[in-house]
Amino acid sequence: GEDVEQSLFLSVREGDSSVINCTYTDSSSTYLYWYKQEPGAGLQLLTYIFSNMDMKQDQRLTVLLNKKDKHLSLRIADTQTGDSAIYFCAERGNTGTASKLTFGTGTRLQVTL
8 versus 77: smaller Cβ distance to another protein: 8
Stretch that binds another protein, among 10-18, 56-64, 70-78, 85-93 (CB under 8 A): 85-93
- Give me the least distance between CB of 37 and another protein, in Å please: 9
- List own/partner pairs for 26-29 with CB under 8 A and 24 or more apart: 26/2, 26/70, 26/91, 26/93, 26/102, 27/70, 28/93, 28/94, 28/95, 29/70, 29/91, 29/92, 29/93, 29/94
- State which residue, 48 or 67, has the beta carbon closest to another protein: 48
Binding residue for another protein (CB under 8 A) from 26, 92, 93, 109? Answer: 92
Closest to another protein by CB, 44 vs 80, is 44
Applying CB under 8 A, which part among 58-66, 67-75, 77-85, 101-109 lies near another protein? Answer: 101-109
Burial 58-85 (b: 16+ CB within 10 A, else e): eeeebbbbeeeebebbbbbeebeeebbb
Q: Is 88 in the site for another protein (CB under 8 A)?
A: yes
